[in-house]
Structure 1
Amino acid sequence: MDSSDLQLDWLRAFVSVVDAGTLTAAAPLVHRSQSALSMQLKKLEQAVGAPVLTRDARHVALTATGRQLLPHARRILEAHAEAQQALRGPSVTGRVTLGVPDDYAVAYLAPVLRTFAARHPGVEISLICEQSTALLPRLHRAEIDLALVSRDRPGRGTLLFREPLVWVGAAAYEAWRREPLPVAVYEAGSRARKDALAALAMQRRAYRLVYNSSSLAGQIAAVESGLAVAVLTRCSVPPHLVQLDARHGLPSLPELEVAVVRSRASARSTAANAMEEQFTRTLAR
């Protein structure tokens, strides 16, 4: 094999890190350890003859060579997926309606949809972005076929991974120093809201609710303005906000169980079956 050949595993590692934003987030998407992923990137850069990424603990950025390589890498991986699909037999067709919260959409949906579209180009996808508390009733009413949600109870759907909850604040305002603690919360019934308030109650920390919103953008705006601290999924924290912990006087938080859940009405849908399989293949850890 020529030393300059670009192996699929190296290209898949490269694209996954670009899409996920960090090696930590990308590793489970390709079912590799961080060290294995780092080694694949190193081999790719040796084959290319130049760095393709600059990276640190918080984020990655494309180099000029990486920007040039990325569209080619995507096309190669898509062509490979299409070849695999062609060899499997008749293609899947139909329509699937998918639900996902904003924070999971940003962090996890892109690699799922990109691979799914390459494998099943005959499937039409409709996407609904709402919080889990809104998606679960819509599943029950068969308004959507499947959804990526935070579990509201054990055993619901197929568990894919656990997502940490973290406190966040804006360094310029240090809202976490105020008494009582000003808190921005998600909608009533939200697991993140319940867990945050339960943790504060257990710590016996005085707090007041100053902002309610079911929107991720709304939560981030409340923090950026110095209005409050908030609890977000770790995958959705913008790099300019501070992740807070015991050093800031705040209690630890549990992890959310993230699952893919199907509606009963979608049981015979081959498109929904294929989408559920793709979620599991891409995100299950």
Structure 2
Amino acid sequence: SPSRPGISSPIGLSISLSSPYATIWPPPRFLRGHAAAPQRRRDRRQHHRYHHHDPHADEGRGGTGERPRAGWRPLRREPLAWVGARGDTEGIAVPLPLVLLPDTCSLHQYVVRMLKRARVPYRVSHSASGVAGLQMALAAGLGISCLNRSAIPAGVAALDPSTASSLRLPALPEVEFCLLPPRRGEAPVVQAAREVLAEQLG
């Protein structure tokens, strides 16, 4: 709500981002600006679809292999990769043990769709509630999954081509992360935050 003349009012800024981006959040410059907007918060909930986002968020980022919609601002592209515990992939066999996010996640749905299309048997060996849990399960050797490059943690590595071929894993595309378009009547602080995010995450 507007503040009265001469009286400052704190401004809340809600930021919604896809789970893979949560692994590289926050940008250093955004941390330095925290004092200017102490009520800024982030929302680490997974965007289930590229075009679905939190209607209450001022900013949002999502990512899929689809073409960005009109008004969406591309930030970066990253390759997707089949990944597993580093140095512990020799025992992987069909049905493939998958480590996935919940089935409401677009990446979960994409992986399952790709494997079904390639007729590769699989089973869900572990379902993680978030990317951090998924990364720990992968590092512990509970199975394999699909991640974008910047979300691959220590102890996890992309499967080598020979392993991927022997398991009949389908080739994966790149994923594109985009900034949602501005809203009508957007506050100046949101516009400024949008430019910082585009600069830091692009």
Q: TM-score, normalised by structure 1?
A: 0.56
1:104 corresponds to which residue?
21
Tell me how far 1:215 sits from its aligned partner: 0.6
Q: What CA deviation, in whole Å up to 9, does each residue of 1:115-148 have, x standing for no partner? A: 6x18xx53332122221229975522x2x21122
Cα pair distance change 1:184/1:110, threshold 3 Å = same
Q: Which runs of 5+ in 2 are unaligned?
A: 1-9
Q: Does 1:273 align with 2:191?
A: yes
User: Taking structure 1 as reference, are residues 175 and 99 closer, same or farther at Cα in structure 2, changes over 3 Å only?
Assistant: farther
Name the structure 2 match of 1:165: 80
Tell me how far apart the structure 2 counterparts of residues 160 and 168 of structure 1 sit (CA, whole Å). 24
Instruction: Give the corresponding residue for 2:69.
Output: 155
| From 47, 50, 54, the counterpart of 1:132 | 47
**Equivalent pair of 1:94/1:122 in contact (CA under 8 Å):** no
Distance 1:195 1:102, change over 3 A: closer
What does the per-residue CA deviation read over 1:34-71, in whole Å, with 9 as the maximum and x for residues that have no partner?
xxxxxxxxxxxxxxxxxxxxxxxxxxxxxxxxxxxxxx
Measured in 2, the distance between the counterparts of 1:137 and 1:171 equals 34
The question of whether the paired residues in 1 share the 8 Å contact of 2:47 and 2:53 is answered with: no
> Where does 1:51-70 land on structure 2 (aligned, <5 Å)?
none
CA distance in 2, matches of 1:105, 1:245: 26
**Bigger helix fraction:** 1
TM-score (norm 2): 0.76
Indicate how the Cα distance of structure 1 residues 102 and 137 shifts in structure 2: closer, same or farther if over 3 A, else same: closer
For the residue of structure 2 that corresponds to 1:94, the secondary structure is coil
* CA offsets 1:249-274 (integer angstroms, 9 cap, x no match): 2332122221122574x742111111
> Which amino acid in structure 1 is aligned with residue 85 of structure 2?
A
- Residues 68, 74 of structure 2: 8 Å contact kept: no
User: How far, CA to CA, are the matches of 2:110 and 2:19 in structure 1?
Assistant: 19
Measured at CA, do residues 175 and 272 of structure 1 come closer, stay the same or move farther in structure 2, by a change above 3 Å? Answer: farther
Listed as ranges, the gaps of 5+ residues in structure 1 are: 1-92
Runs of at least 4 residues of structure 1 off by over 4 A? Answer: 134-138
Identity %: 24
| CA distance in 2 between partners of 1:136 and 1:95 (Å) | 24
Q: CA deviation at 1:182?
A: 0.8
Q: 1:113 to 1:208 in 2, by over 3 A?
A: same
In the TM superposition, residue 275 of structure 1 has moved relative to its aligned partner by 0.8
Residues 231-270 of structure 1 aligned to structure 2 (within 5 Å): 231-249=146-164, 250-261=169-180, 264=183, 267-270=185-188
Counterparts of 2:149 and 2:181 in 1: how far apart (Å)? Answer: 25
Aligned to 1:161, the other structure's residue is in SS state strand
Compute the displacement of 1:158 (Å).
1.7
Contact 1:175-1:226 within 8 A present in 2 as well: no
Counterpart of 1:94, as a letter, is I
Report SS of the residue matched to 2:114.
helix
